[in-house]
Structure 1
Amino acid sequence: MEQRNQTPVSEFILLGLSEEGELQPLLLWLFLSLYLVTFSGNLLIVLAIVMDSHLHTPMYFFLANLSFSDICFTSTTIPKMMWNIQTQSKVITYAGCLSQMYFLMLFVGLDNFLLTVMAYDRFVAICHPLHYMVIMNPKFCCILLLVSWLLSVFSSLLQDLMVSQLSFCTQLEIPHFFCELNQVIQLACSDTFFNNLVIYLVSGLLGILPLIGILFSYSRIVTSILKISSSRGKYKAFSTCGSHLSIVSLFYGTSFGVYLRSAASQNSRTTAIASVMYTVVTPMLNPFIYGLRNRDIKLALRNLLAERHSLHIRILCSKMKMCVCNRAQNPRQPRS
């Protein structure tokens, strides 16, 4: 085996999506636009749900947490990428790389569990409508959210700590725009058998099992919908879970697509470009899917924007009244 020098690791090099200099300004503005749309869209969903009391239900409670998770998810990778492009630097510190991996795995896992919990919520709403409020009570919803957080924190912390025990060689270039777990492990000089074993176990237990739970929930949902006699009732029942089903298909479709792409192709740069789908595009489309397909969300967003507009008008009117009062008290004050 070829021996390579082992040195204390202080930083990694993120090669990014492209090394062509003329493409860097285009990539900067493209990802800045995507990030602003993602951040503002998911933030509007959170504010609309928090401000509208009609949306204080289990389904929208989990949706608000999903939007918050997507904001944190994209904020873990895109700002660092834009900073590297702006400063023309590809360096990320060792501690920064470990932190980025930790939070990335944390919010990916949280998205995964939240989608599973939301599938269970739809299963209870459609298959057991009379017991929905009893089963999905506020205490149980908080427990489901807490368990999702704890499992995500534990799994990401375990993998991050195992990476911190590895020793690295002098070649520390990561062909990606963020510190991706598999790419970092491949740079290690020490034995990575247990790291790869933990990745497979975590992917199986915390990735495949939730997907099986989602598929089981929707199989029961479809069975219950088919038993409804009227076509209008079928459409109404399916419309309550159509948005969630679209997000699930987008999340798992892009994730498995990137995984199969990386397994079939040895080009790491191609895999990095494909990763943009689930790290950037999917979180950006989530608020549009719920905003365009859900009438309650559209109404809440319309009310939120109307309240903001009326607030600006009240502030403007109060300022005008203050100016009129000041001029009445000081008639000799010259007009500006």
Structure 2
Amino acid sequence: MRAILYREIGDPSVLKLIERDVPEPGPGEVRVRVLTSGVNPTDWRSRSTPGWPMQYPEVIPHHDGAGVIDAVGPDVETFAPGDRVWVMAASFGHLTGTAQEYTVLPVSKVRPLPDDASYELGAALGVPALTAHRALTVAENGPRRLAPKALDGRTVLVAGGAGAVGNAAIQLARWAGATVISTVSGPGKAALATAAGAHHVVNYREGDPVAGIRAAAPEGVDIVVEVAIAHNKDLDLAVIKNGATIAVYADDRPTIELDILSNLRLDVRYQFLILFTDFARMAAAADDVTAALRDGAFGAGEEHGLPIHRFPLSETGAAQDAVQMGAVGKVIVDPTA
């Protein structure tokens, strides 16, 4: 079978297309024929950042993907050959990712993919959907799990609703009953955030974005799903309720300066979050995401606010470059091509 592998930190040239034996599943494991492999920023960062420790001497990248169960190991009763699945955290604490034709994973990292959900959608879940779930469940007085009505009566502001995490946050928050507002940088991205399900979309580069958000949420915002806190901190403070949570999952800037008195007056909670610290919490989030899938609350493609960009396995480097350059939507590697 074909696989992408790298043995050193560096630019995309370190990614090599190789042939290797099809792996066999062990106890509690399944083998998945990978039909779509999702690319995330963590993939190019972990491959290219100097000093970033490699987990293994050889790395097959990509955490996310979707496909069909090809074989099951001993003691596996929850899946059978032919089952459609999506996978998460494939290369977290595990030797092998999804940038290959077959991958073997413990059943804890595999979830059913409903028949009406595309493989592109399955590969778009994983890191983005679980990050969005975490951001929506860290409020001090909020739910720890998501389900219909879990966020009833709450208003969620999603910064960057046209991004992969932003798109997932909009879809999950709407499924859970929240009123969803999203900020975007232009009309094209506004159309994507609206397609994802945002009730209100505000272009932060035009007019008065604070007034636009306050018009949609006169009493203020309960939760902010934040991708650029250093840039957006003043906007966030101007639109949140007292006791609101700002859930920060990314920022290209390395530092932030906060006005202590303003934050004290608002009793604001900042939650900086990263996925790969508590697999039990990730597993629970994956169960909630699967429930949303069954309810038809998730979609992928431009009609759902998430354009798909496909690359063959041999162009995995170009796919990772596209993510690094800020491709709008979801970048997918096709191991069958």
TM-score range, shorter chain: under 0.3
Structure-1-length-normalised TM-score? 0.23
Structure-2-length-normalised TM-score? 0.23
Q: Which has the higher contact order (CA 8 A, sep 6+)?
A: 1
Indicate the structure with greater helix content.
1
Indicate the structure with greater strand content.
2
